[in-house]
Structure 1
């Protein structure tokens, strides 16, 4: 019988999805024993729904509870850093929603703390998981796809005034960014997960859809370290909603299912260039075992990592790569210059990409 880890969830917004998609399907691995939220009404509603008796309004109280193994941070982004650091210091394992923190300086602080902590830290990038993306990753890692040529990522979603009625959204101080940070961050992570590291980016951001502080439209030209080229486009003003990722390699082209919030679940189009590539792919994917999507698989693989049966499915290094892209994107847009990656402490936006007037 596998070890069951006791979990405390902080934030009852996306935290509810963690329960429904992540912890309930993995009931042999986790038990949610506590919920924490500043809003007592929301806290009681979610706790009643799932029969959770321990209801906490002061985050610090969780740190002293010896029976809690994992603290799952689902608060607005601006609150992540102190909670992550405090939970690691308290010896807890930590799961944290995206974006992990609000600057490269902060992620480097977290990574340093992580090295000294007994617990493990897992950022959330639940879009990575599911049959579709798993098959593509397997083909690429097996070397069948060959040299990468080009890629495109389109994040075409829709957000209107009701979405920004939630007080922390659309504001630099609490959301830390717009479509680039809170929405396209998922498809962009999928892209680098499959295609590797970015070498250079020339990006643009604009606010065109809603009267908010942060951006809701972006576009970029990207050069990969492999030499492949790519383009990123995103908006929160689309009439319909799709997430579309298309990757062209030497021996095969892949295209995602267009489901906006779960592009990894359904099988992707896999278009071999020739019969040889097709035969290799067919052999590799024979007797395929189903991979559940989103939080279910990410939480299951986190359990494997906690029990020594596997590696962390998402790491702080993955999170840094994501935030490095965000930093370069904002810098390129404000300076109208091409930006080379990686970015270190000498970069002008290392301490924060948030405009000075909003800090």
Structure 2
């Protein structure tokens, strides 16, 4: 039987969701034994709520704790790179919220460090998990969907002044971007997870909703490596909130549940082209086993990976693909040109997509 791993959560904002959705449903796999946050009042509130007695404000204190197996980084994006690097060098397993780091150069450095690290690194893309998305992925991977034709992703969310009252939000230095980085990155990851790599992008970003440094509205036209075409649109100025992913293949149309923050939870709309395709799908999914959504499944599969019982559910390579799309998006918008992927060290934004005046 695999042992229960001791976890330290760094950052008591989204870190609370990691505890509630990820660790508490997996108490046979994980135990949260330490918390870290610069805000001592928030640190104490979370510690009292979940009975975690070990509370520190200095990240280095966690690195020195020999009984900590996993460090879960839930801090603002601007400090992810340093924390991930230090935790891996300390021999810890690492979970890190999106975005993993702030440039392609940094993600490549992290991937190089992983090769000699004792622990495993798992970036967070919790929207990938749940019955809806996993059934779609199963149908595609089985070859039933056939040739991909086109797809659309709409990330229509709402963020107003109270959201940006948090000091690090809406700023290039700390958030590293806007709707493209902190919000639509999830549906865009789902899209490439299902449709494959992007070959070319023409994108535009704009700040139209809020008085902030970063963008809150985006749109792009994509050509996929497969030849399929796609469009991505997102805003933080929607009246209602939906996340809608619609994919058209040769044999099926697939459309996500429209829940903005948990699109994998409910079953997706799967429309087969004919009765033969429907029969193949029905047979494939006949003995389907429920997949809990979001952090619950991602953390459970992380535990399996640590114990050699499966692959990492999300990898640094997945984060690189997401950040490569972000980099290409910003470059296309600023230059008004189409950008060809993949991007390497010779790309002008390889070291940072953040505008020079905000670095």
Both proteins in one fold, TM over 0.5: yes
Which residue of 1 is the match for residue 260 of structure 2? Answer: 260
Which residue of 2 is the match for residue 20 of structure 1? Answer: 20
How far does residue 356 in structure 1 lie from its aligned partner after superposition?
0.3
Instruction: State how 1:309-324 maps to structure 2 within 5 Å.
Output: 309-324=309-324
Which residue of 2 is the match for residue 300 of structure 1? Answer: 300
Q: Distance in 1 between matches of 2:2 and 2:117?
A: 24
1:155-190 CA-partner distances (Å, limit 9, x unpaired): 000000000000000000000000000000000000
How far does residue 271 in structure 1 lie from its aligned partner after superposition?
0.1
CA RMSD of aligned residues (A): 0.4
Q: Distance in 2 between matches of 1:189 and 1:199?
A: 15
Q: SS at 1:312's partner residue?
A: coil
1:109 aligns with 2:109: yes
Which residue of 1 is the match for residue 210 of structure 2? Answer: 210
Q: Distance in 2 between matches of 1:351 and 1:100?
A: 15
Q: Distance in 2 between matches of 1:119 and 1:158?
A: 38
1:247-268 CA-partner distances (Å, limit 9, x unpaired): 0000000000000000011000
Q: SS at 1:116's partner residue?
A: coil
Instruction: State how 1:1-359 maps to structure 2 within 5 Å.
Output: 1-359=1-359
Q: SS at 1:149's partner residue?
A: strand
Q: Distance in 1 between matches of 2:152 and 2:3?
A: 42
TM-score by length of 1: 1.00
Q: Distance in 1 between matches of 2:29 and 2:184?
A: 31
TM-score by length of 2: 1.00
Gaps of 5+ in 1: none
Q: Distance in 2 between matches of 1:260 and 1:116?
A: 38
1:283-342 CA-partner distances (Å, limit 9, x unpaired): 000021000000000000000100000000000000000000000000000000000000
Q: Distance in 1 between matches of 2:239 and 2:255?
A: 22
1:41-78 CA-partner distances (Å, limit 9, x unpaired): 00000000000000010000111100000000000000
Q: SS at 1:234's partner residue?
A: strand
Q: Distance in 2 between matches of 1:20 and 1:156?
A: 26
Q: SS at 2:187's partner residue?
A: helix
Q: Distance in 2 between matches of 1:2 and 1:29?
A: 8
Q: SS at 1:60's partner residue?
A: helix
Q: SS at 2:296's partner residue?
A: helix
Q: SS at 1:211's partner residue?
A: coil
How far does residue 2 in structure 1 lie from its aligned partner after superposition?
2.5
1:134-169 CA-partner distances (Å, limit 9, x unpaired): 000000000000000000000000000000000000
How far does residue 3 in structure 1 lie from its aligned partner after superposition?
1.3
Q: SS at 1:332's partner residue?
A: helix
Q: Distance in 1 between matches of 2:301 and 2:190?
A: 17
Q: SS at 1:100's partner residue?
A: coil
Gaps of 5+ in 2: none
Q: Distance in 1 between matches of 2:64 and 2:57?
A: 14
